Amino acid sequence: MAYGSRRQFLTGVLGAGVGLWSARYLPQPEMRDQKHGSLFAGEKKMPFQQPPLPYPMDALVPYLSEEQIRFHYGKHHAAYFKNLNGLVEGKPEAQWTLREVVIRSSGPIFNNAAQAWNHTFYWNCMDPKGGGEPAGELAQAIRRDFGSFAEFQKAFSEAAVKLFGSGWAWLAADKDGKLSIMGLSNADTPLKHDQEPVLTIDVWEHAYYIDYRNERARFVEGFWKYVNWSFAAKRYALRGQVDQLD
């Protein structure tokens, strides 16, 4: 498989940002070939494709059950890709990267594209070996912009718990690296506000209802034990350059 065709596939999947993800976030070569087969065969632009989960479906137990992930990844996230591919068929958007579709579209195409992109980002914000606190540049920026890690954590949790209805809580960075917490409704994402996503938690009820019923606060609290700070630090380091990567 030529590098060029792989690069094109990755661009189609998640837009520019995925290009610099470390290999651990990507499926192994044999999984890619088996799962996506002919996607690498030619130059033809392929439909947007849901990336594999970066860990097994039961990897986040006891925080999230295999059943919770199976429905969330296998039904909800998969449906956004399926809907998106139906909506863009024969339209210019079918030739864009997913990131471009998120930034440039509106209405049902935006809703499904953003939900497709947001969930892929969200899966990578958790890790079975996650938790703890960030290090390096991101840790410094958090202290600078929120006072302390504890204050950041409190504000992020509060944004997630208090968000009315369905949506996402985000840690986002502007082009200068200034961090902010954004509670955004439905499919909305920092990409739509000229901000670069660094970390997110999905607070749609479908994200937690199987395991936590109505107890969103408990679901948000559990997130911190699995948060993938190494992924967030990489995303923070990428800010402002992402558009040039692919």
Q: Which residues bind Mn ion (CB under 5 A)?
A: 202, 204, 207
Minimum CB distance to Mn ion smaller for 169 or for 233: 169
Minimum CB distance to Mn ion smaller for 153 or for 166: 166
Give the strand pairing for 167-173 and 179-185: antiparallel
CB of 92 to Mn ion, least distance (A): 27
Q: Could you tell me how far CA 161 lies from the centroid of its own chain?
A: 19
Minimum CB distance to Mn ion smaller for 6 or for 76: 76
Burial bucket for residue 47 (CB in 10 Å: 0-12, 13-18, 19+):
middle
Minimum CB distance to Mn ion smaller for 118 or for 157: 118
CA-to-CA distance for 35 and 60, rounded, in angstroms? Answer: 23
CB of 53 to Mn ion, least distance (A): 13
**Percent of the chain as helix, strand, coil, to the nearest 5:** 55, 10, 35
Minimum CB distance to Mn ion smaller for 9 or for 121: 121
Q: Could you tell me how far CA 172 lies from the centroid of its own chain?
A: 12
Q: What are phi and psi of 2, to 5 degrees?
A: -70, 150
CB of 112 to Mn ion, least distance (A): 12
CB of 186 to Mn ion, least distance (A): 11
What's the chain's Rg over C-alpha atoms?
Answer: 17
CB of 114 to Mn ion, least distance (A): 11
Q: In a 3-state reduction of DSSP, which class is residue 110? A: helix
**How is residue 86 written in tokens?**
């139906």
DSSP 72: I
Residue 103's DSSP bridge partners are none
CB of 55 to Mn ion, least distance (A): 17
CB of 13 to Mn ion, least distance (A): 18
Q: By C-alpha distance, which of 60, 21, 59, 52 is closest to 223? A: 60
Please state, as a whole number, how many other Cβ atoms lie within 10 Å of the Cβ of residue 162.
Answer: 12
Minimum CB distance to Mn ion smaller for 127 or for 246: 127
Minimum CB distance to Mn ion smaller for 109 or for 187: 187
